[in-house]
Structure 1
Amino acid sequence: MELLSISSNERAEILKHYDVSEAQVTEDVEIIKSWKQKQPHLPENISDGFIARMLLRNKFRVERTKEKLENYFTLRNYHHDLVRDFENIVPSKHFITHLPMPKLTPNYERVIIMKLINTDTDVYDIMELVKLDLAVTEILLQYDDSIGVRYVFDFEGFTLKHLTKWNPVIILKNVTLIEKAYSCRVMSVHCINFPEFASKIQGIFKIVLRPKIYDKLKIDSDLESLYQVIPKECLPSEYGGSCSSIQSLLKKWDEVLQTHHNFFLENYKNVSLEHLRPADFNKSDAFGPDGTFKKLGID
């Protein structure tokens, strides 16, 4: 896909980073396909490209990738309400962005901009925010070959009234899906235009983020601070960057989601079939030792 394309040289460098070859990737994909054939509860229509990107997101560790594939289909089934209606999302008409930049950083990472487009608190809905996040992440999992994500959270226009609409339980579920189901590797989370009530925001982040991720939270006092980690050429024009404007990129993402209308409808049904799960199957650590959700993202 054009908005997430990488050059052949970037692809080669990414594989070199993990010390793997294209032949080894192909071999590992076949190993996982053979394993999947013995898992009657998992869907049949899993593409080679999807498996390859799962391998990439899990540093080409085969056993870890099997675990994350299990998580992807099981957790999306368990939280079907959060992965519903993706086909109806229009990014340019949303109140907030979850906008991947088309250019990778020099370290082959994807930058994602989250910024309020409509500051009206009456339209601010945490469930709709989560669905936008997961829908775009779904597309990234289908096409993106980056080695990780750097988030930029722009709090311009964000008020205490917005914060009162944050539901830590829903946010925790979102974070868990992003990490454990979609295998997203978070390299850093940059906060700009942080409001005076920053401590309240940080308090919620501390609840919903694992310590390893919370430690990657960076508060940038200005754009120059942000540029030290994310170069200008990887940012939209609103931040002094070389990429197109946020609105221009959102329009392109409208087209992406529109062309994936049928994919979203089909993928909504592409979840684990629990009645076919082998009786002796050991549950993934995503659910904790008793198979419940209570430990997700907290332990």
Structure 2
Amino acid sequence: MDLLSISSNEKAEILEHYNVSEAQIKADVELIKSWKQKQPHLPENISDDFIAKMLLRNKFRIERTKEKLDNYFTLRGYHDDLVRDFENVVPSKHFVTYLPMPKLTPNYERVFIMKLINTDIEAYDIIEITKLELAVTEVTMQYDDSIGVRYVIDFAGFTLKHLAKWNPVVIHKLVTLIEKAYSCRIMGGHFINCPEFASKILGIFKIVLRSKIYDKLKIHSSLESLYEVIPKECLPSECGGSCSNIPSLLKKWDEVFQNHRNFFVENYKNVSMEHLRIADLNGSDSFGPDGTFKRLTLD
């Protein structure tokens, strides 16, 4: 897909980064397909390309890839409320934007931009934000060959009333799906145009994120600080970058979603059939209760 394409040189450099060849990837795909045939709870129609993408997202570690492949089909079924109706999502009509940038960073990372488009507090809904993020992630993982993701969150127009609508349980589910089902390697989270209550925002993320991920969050006091990490050519014009602008990118992503409506409908059905599972899950809290969080209160 053009919006997520990488050059042949970039692809070769990524394979070199992991010290793997195309032949080795094909061999690893066959190994995982053999394993998959012994897992009756998993769907039949898992493509070689999807397995190869999973291998890349898990550093070509066979056992880790098996685990994440199982997670992908199991967790999406477990969190059914967050992964349904993707076929009805229209990115440009949303009150927030969640966009992957077309150009990779020099470290082969994919930059995602999140920004309020409509600041109306009545329109703000954390469930709908979560669905948008997961729908975009679903499409992205079918095509992207980056080695990780880096998030830029623009808090312009964000108020305490918006923050009060955050639900730590829902955010925890989102992070679980992003990391454990979609196998996204989070390389960093970058906050720009932060309000005075940024410490409260960080406080919520500290509750729901693993310490390893939380430590990768950074508040930038200026765009120049952001450019030290992410080049301008990997950012939209709204962030001072040279990579098109958000409205034009949204228009293109509307077309992508329109063209993937049938994919969303069919893929929604592709979840694990737990009654056919042979082995028990290995004690992962991803599959158990949602956990306990204190009610979000803002002083």
TM tier, shorter chain? over 0.9
Looking at structure 2, the residues matched to 43 and 10 of structure 1 have their Cα atoms a distance apart, in angstroms, of 32
SS in 2 for 1:97: strand
SS in 2 for 1:98: strand
2:186–2:213 Cα contact (<8 Å) kept: yes
SS in 2 for 1:238: helix
Residues 259-282 of structure 1 show CA distances to partners (whole Å, capped at 9, x for unaligned) of 00000000100000011111xx13
Task: Give how far 1:293 is off.
Answer: 3.4
1:98–1:132 Cα contact (<8 Å) kept: yes
Q: 1:14 to 1:293 in 2, by over 3 A?
A: farther
1:286 and 2:280 equivalent?
no
Residues 212-234 of structure 1 show CA distances to partners (whole Å, capped at 9, x for unaligned) of 00000010111100000000000
Q: 1:148 to 1:222 in 2, by over 3 A?
A: same
Alignment of 1:98-247 (within 5 A): 98-247=98-247
1:58 and 2:54 equivalent?
no
* Percent of matched pairs sharing the same residue: 77
Task: Give how far 1:238 is off.
Answer: 1.3
1:87–1:257 Cα contact (<8 Å) kept: yes
1:43 and 2:39 equivalent?
no
Looking at structure 1, the residues matched to 148 and 224 of structure 2 have their Cα atoms a distance apart, in angstroms, of 22
Task: Give how far 1:242 is off.
Answer: 1.2
1:168–1:208 Cα contact (<8 Å) kept: yes
1:94 and 2:90 equivalent?
no
Structure 2 unaligned residues grouped into runs of 5+: 293-299
2:169–2:291 Cα contact (<8 Å) kept: no
Residues 29-68 of structure 1 show CA distances to partners (whole Å, capped at 9, x for unaligned) of 0100111011000001111111001000000000000000
Aligned to 1:28: 28
Q: Which runs of 4+ in 1 moved over 6 A?
A: none
Task: Give how far 1:285 is off.
Answer: 4.6
Aligned to 2:68: 68
1:189–1:216 Cα contact (<8 Å) kept: yes
1:67–1:284 Cα contact (<8 Å) kept: no
Looking at structure 2, the residues matched to 13 and 237 of structure 1 have their Cα atoms a distance apart, in angstroms, of 28
Aligned to 2:256: 256
2:153–2:192 Cα contact (<8 Å) kept: yes
SS in 2 for 1:41: coil
Looking at structure 2, the residues matched to 287 and 218 of structure 1 have their Cα atoms a distance apart, in angstroms, of 27
What TM-score comes out, normalization by structure 2 length? Answer: 0.96
Task: Give how far 1:206 is off.
Answer: 0.3
SS in 2 for 1:166: coil
SS in 2 for 1:10: helix
Looking at structure 2, the residues matched to 228 and 260 of structure 1 have their Cα atoms a distance apart, in angstroms, of 36
AA of the residue aligned to 1:292: G
SS in 2 for 1:141: helix
Looking at structure 2, the residues matched to 285 and 114 of structure 1 have their Cα atoms a distance apart, in angstroms, of 33
Residues 80-103 of structure 1 show CA distances to partners (whole Å, capped at 9, x for unaligned) of 110011000000110001100000
RMSD, aligned α-carbons: 1.2
2:154–2:191 Cα contact (<8 Å) kept: yes
SS in 1 for 2:188: strand
Looking at structure 2, the residues matched to 183 and 105 of structure 1 have their Cα atoms a distance apart, in angstroms, of 19
What TM-score comes out, normalization by structure 1 length? Answer: 0.96
SS in 1 for 2:157: coil
SS in 2 for 1:59: coil
Looking at structure 1, the residues matched to 250 and 282 of structure 2 have their Cα atoms a distance apart, in angstroms, of 36
AA of the residue aligned to 2:248: S
Structure 1 unaligned residues grouped into runs of 5+: none
Task: Give how far 1:239 is off.
Answer: 1.5
